[in-house]
Amino acid sequence: MSVENNNYGYNKNLKELARKLRKDSTKAEVRLWAELLRAGNMLGYNFLRQRPVLSYIADFMCKELQLIIEVDGYTHEKERKWYKDLDRQKELEEKGFTVLRFTDDEIMNDLKNVERSIKKWIEDHPPAPPSKGDSKEPSIKERFESYIQNLQDEICDKLEEYEQGARFRHDDWNREGGGGGHSRVIEKGSVFEKGGVNISAVHGELPAVIRKRFDVEQGWFWAGGISLVLHPLNPMVPTVHANFRYFELYDDASMNEVRDCWFGGGADLTPYYLWDEDAVHFHSVLKAACDEHGSDLYPKFKKECDDYFYNEHRSEGRGVGGLFFDYLRPTEERSAEDWYRFTTEVGSAFLESYSPIVDRRKDESYTEEQRYFQEIRRGRYVEFNLIHDRGTLFGLKTGGRTESILMSLPPRVRWDYDFIPEEDSREAYLIDRLENPIDWIEYGEKENILN
């Protein structure tokens, strides 16, 4: 029998254990997730990682298919031996789930056959026909919400690996008009002085200020997204920001018919001491993600990033750029599904774009003078967020949670009157790059530092 009406057997009491197991994923689990299951890669179906279900934790689960995929290996045999218990598998199957099992060896050495096996099962067992009024398959909204939940887990798990003792604080919140979010904030770490990785899915009647902006008398909306900002302690490690969001607009409170929809997001890097190879790496990873969906996208969204993250009152960029895109609506050239795939591809590339930079710079030595300069530059970051940033202003004007919105601000900042760096210094080099943006891909090729 189906467990759909019971949230697919979700067991909130196993939530913390699921997080631990996700963080301690085996190499085979990581590979299966990264190459086959994440972001709808498996025939468009969304899978969840380490999903608490009944009294167990499934390695991977697809709600729509009621399919559980288990990875059996040394770790499972010694630490999670309950997964191999066929009696418990029988219990899951009695509740309506199907369990597919693969060994570590199969995934690491014969992934193509694993992929064929999963696809064959899905093709032979399509989802049950929907009841009247149901959708045939999960909507983009539902898939995107599932995607940002998984991405938040993946990013936070990786960032905690850098820390000795600091951990993300988890904070759920509800929006009065509808919906809510899950904030995760880390503070006073050995690598990250402050950082936040937040997700939200809010809905309801459009606030007056937004109705005016869209030039409509009434309307209802759904908005979901993930937003992150990381402020490292070491000034040699750059600050990074990224967010990925989806918006739907409706004519009436039933919110059944989508009148308009669009995607937005991007990622940008804000160094305090600039290594050219770091900027080249960041841009090259983002370009590769864009190029999967069209060679026209990276140049366009790179320029939009340079234009958007610009402090006009200072005549300089906030950082060395990245990508920025907004209002990506379906057109004759690209459908909403195309933009979904693009946005999730870029989001999934975030860790690859940033983690290697952290690895290279987190142990660099620095002086108190360099820390002082970092705080000066953080002041410019604050100026942009409070004066220009659309996301900050939108959140504050639509009843978003103030603590989550302002988590983007760094913990220690300073403003010195008429601060001017020493000529020909590393500080001066950074300012010159911020005042005169360059094509980092072209520069990397010319200087032979690409990749």
Look at strands 316-317 and 169-174 and give their pairing: unpaired
Query: What does residue 210 show for φ and ψ, rounded to 5 degrees?
Result: -80, -35
Amino acid at 256: N
Distance, C-alpha 68 to centroid of its chain: 24
d(CA 219, CA 249): 7
**241 catalytic residue (yes or no):** yes
Give the separation between CA 262 and CA 246, rounded to whole angstroms. Answer: 6
Q: What angle do CA 115, 120, 123 make, to 5 degrees?
A: 125
- Alpha-helical segments (H) within 292-332: 297-308
Can you tell me the distance from the alpha carbon of 199 to that of 206, in angstroms, rounded to the nearest whole number?
20
Amino acid letter, residue 273 = Y
SS3 content of the chain, % helix, strand, coil (to 5): 45, 25, 30
Cα 397 from Cα 413, distance rounded (Å)? 25
170 neighbors 184 (Cβ within 8 angstroms): yes
Q: Which of 76, 203, 241, 283 is catalytic?
A: 241
Point out the residues that are catalytic: 241
